């Protein structure tokens, strides 16, 4: 298999300086690419001068994570794309377990490794942890991460198993499947687009997988931190997009109605916390969703929808009412 390790960059020279060396050191036999989203720093010049073996693809605009990858990957010929954040430190033998799984399991379309916190390497990292799931209302969570609660890695998720979504921080995907799905939905710009992509793949009968045979360390928050209202806006809006696109019509309408109510409660909570910018971000997210509802509805898959898409009914209830912060305790609740 021809493996392309593809890093999307936007004004990230310092991150490339820090983390490219590990990618080069431990990616033997793979081809490394940097897709640049019209950076205004000298990161492109830095890569070309210091790493001539890396192919740089320059996009003409910053279209965000979704369009950035869609535009850049059109110029890359490979069997497997590894989409890798620029703030990820990879480790020895991180690619070969992926290749083996793709060869052995023909229905597996997408795989993610174990994602650990670069700042605190004994703990899982927010974006992906040990594989992603959603609840009945579309709230995403991970093995090893429930909302903001991160678990220590004690080997409790050292397995290979099917998951619902794989993180865009380090995602391996078959090129044929990426093309079948027409790539990421560019209306998302950033955040939750990998959940939508994986959901669409599962609706088409593909399998999303996690393996602990490979692990990487993710810095996280390099583009937008959890404290940034823009991230709140994108997460709330894009989750509504995904529900609209990927559920049967009647189910989608019921879930959207419940989400709008819960989003209103979340906005009130932000007011009580004096986080007014986040409250306004939720309002903006809803207005954007209303404006684009028809567009999203037209994108719905006409194929079969998977009905058992969720692992638990309400992670919000389990976490905020029952105070459950651990994945294994969550699924037993």
Listing DSSP states for 27-43 in one string gives: -TTSEEEEEEES-SSSH
The conformation of residue 146, written as its DSSP 8-state character, comes to E
How many residues appear in the chain? 333
Look at residue 33 in the predicted model and tell me its pLDDT: 98
pLDDT value at residue 223: 56
Distance of CA 267 to the CA centre of its chain: 24
Among 327, 299, 331, which Cα is nearest to 312's?
A: 331
* Angstrom distance (rounded) from CA 322 to CA 287: 32
How high is the pLDDT of residue 226?
A: 65
- Taking the C-alpha atoms of residue 273 and residue 287, their distance in angstroms, rounded to an integer, is 23
- Under DSSP, the state recorded for 90 is -
Angle formed at CA 131 by CA 6 and CA 153, multiple of 5 degrees: 105
- At the second CATH level, the architecture of 3-218 is Alpha-Beta Complex (3.90)
Q: Is 119 exposed, middle or buried (CB count within 10 Å of its CB: 0-12, 13-18, 19+)?
A: exposed
Burial class (CB in 10 A: 0-12, 13-18, 19+), 308: exposed
Distance of alpha carbon 142 from alpha carbon 160, whole angstroms: 15
pTM recorded for the entire structure: 0.95
- 3 state DSSP class of 17: helix
3-state DSSP percent of the chain in helix, strand and coil, to 5: 40, 20, 35
Tell me what pLDDT residue 222 has: 52
Secondary structure in 3-state letters for 285-318: HHHHHHHHHHHHHHCCCCCCCCCCCCCCCCHHHH
Distance CA 46, CA 89 (A): 19
Cα 291 versus chain centre, distance: 24
Every domain of the chain with CATH number 3.90.550.10 lies at 3-218
Q: What is the pLDDT along the chain (333 residues), one digit of tens a residue?
A: 999 999 999 999 999 999 999 999 999 999 999 999 999 999 999 999 999 999 999 999 999 999 999 999 999 999 999 999 999 999 999 999 999 999 999 999 999 999 999 999 999 999 999 999 999 999 999 999 999 999 999 999 999 999 999 999 999 999 999 999 999 999 999 999 999 999 999 999 999 999 999 999 999 865 555 678 999 999 999 999 999 999 999 999 999 999 999 999 999 999 999 999 999 999 999 999 999 999 999 998 666 788 889 999 999 999 999 999 999 999 887
């Amino acid at each position: 298999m021809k493996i392309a390790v593809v890093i999307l960059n936007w004004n990230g020279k310092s991150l490339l300086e820090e983390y490219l060396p590990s990618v080069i050191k431990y990616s033997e036999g793979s081809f490394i690419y940097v897709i640049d989203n019209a950076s205004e720093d000298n990161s492109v010049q830095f890569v070309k001068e210091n790493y001539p073996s890396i192919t740089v693809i320059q996009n003409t605009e910053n279209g965000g994570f979704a369009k950035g990858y869609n535009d850049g990957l059109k110029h890359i010929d490979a069997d497997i794309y590894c989409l890798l954040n620029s703030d990820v430190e990879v480790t020895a033998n991180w690619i070969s377990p992926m290749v083996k799984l793709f060869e052995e399991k023909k229905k597996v379309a997408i795989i993610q490794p174990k994602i650990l916190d670069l700042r605190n390497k004994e703990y899982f990292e927010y974006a992906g942890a040990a594989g992603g799931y959603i609840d009945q209302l579309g709230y995403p969570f991970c093995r090893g991460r429930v909302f903001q609660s991160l678990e220590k890695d004690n080997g409790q998720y050292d397995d290979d198993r099917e998951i619902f979504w794989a993180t865009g921080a380090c995602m391996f995907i078959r090129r044929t499947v990426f093309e079948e799905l027409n790539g990421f939905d560019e209306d998302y710009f950033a955040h939750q687009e990998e959940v939508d992509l994986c959901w669409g793949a599962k609706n088409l009968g593909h399998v999303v997988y996690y393996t602990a045979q490979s692990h990487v360390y993710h810095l996280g928050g390099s583009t937008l931190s959890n404290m940034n209202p823009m991230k709140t806006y994108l997460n709330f809006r894009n989750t509504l997009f995904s529900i609209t696109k990927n559920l049967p019509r009647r189910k989608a309408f019921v879930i959207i109605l419940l989400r709008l109510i819960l989003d209103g409660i979340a906005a009130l909570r932000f007011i009580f916390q004096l986080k007014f910018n986040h409250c306004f971000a939720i309002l903006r997210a809803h207005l954007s969703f209303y404006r684009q509802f028809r567009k999203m509805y037209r994108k719905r898959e006409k194929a079969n929808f998977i009905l058992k898409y969720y692992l638990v009914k309400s992670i919000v209830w389990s976490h905020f009412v029952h105070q459950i912060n651990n994945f294994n305790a969550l699924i037993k609740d």
